[in-house]
Amino acid sequence: MQVQIQSNDFTLDVSGALFWDAEKVLFIADLHLGKIEHFRANGSAIPQEASLKNYSKLDEVIQHYQPSEIVFLGDLFHSIKNKSWIDFESWVKKQQAKITLVVGNHDLIAKSNFEKLGIEVCLEWKRDFIYGTHHPSTSQGLLNLCGHIHPGYFLKGLGKQNLKLSCFYLKEKQFILPAFGGFTGKYMITPEDGERIFVLGENQVFEVPILQ
């Protein structure tokens, strides 16, 4: 679905990515590449195929939107280099869009490793009225696009059904993206008056009415 902010259309993708239509920029938060390999190395019985789903998901959303730039809003990698870096190098070499990494708290891999692959690394990303960071921030007076908290929302239905779904969380000057990567967990949001929640369904994104 789309939302309009300051006369600009933004497409909220069911993958958790956000596409700025006018500038053809694709924003992705909290991919946490290498997390599955990290847990497997420490004895967790997680199928290796789970790691490949992140790349198939990435390829699908990039093919659909054909962005001129991909901005990772932090926590691109979960920890230090492991076997997953080789897969990442191969994936980057196939990309035509510019790639930018806004450094997150989990991004421990040296900046030079990314720069050797042609990736721009920064602490914040600015263009027009957009201010991209990893941690939520409101200090610039612009619209802050960010990640970090892995927002989720409880949907309550009839018959006491409850669903925990990832969501986009839109505040007055802040747009928090859901975690793009699998195996990342959620932090349940309690929105305040005037804020908007867009949950990720199985095949679509839809806005949840906020009842106060």
Give residue-wise pLDDT tens across range 133-168: 999 998 778 999 999 999 999 887 665 677 899 999
Residue 27 has pLDDT above 50, yes or no: yes
Task: Give which of 108, 109, 87, 91 is closest to 99, Cα–Cα.
Answer: 91
The residue-averaged pLDDT of 80-89 equals 80
How do residues 94-145 score in pLDDT, each as one tens digit?
999 999 999 998 788 899 999 999 999 999 999 999 999 999 998 778 999 9
- Does the pLDDT of residue 42 top 70, yes or no? no
Beta strands in 133-204 (DSSP E): 143-146, 151-156, 162-170, 174-176, 187-188, 196-200
What is 2-208's CATH number? Answer: 3.60.21
pTM summary value: 0.90
pLDDT tier for residue 80 given thresholds of 50, 70 and 90: low
Average pLDDT in the chain: 88
3-state DSSP helix/strand/coil % of the chain, to nearest 5: 20, 35, 50
Tokens found for residue 82: 């492991």
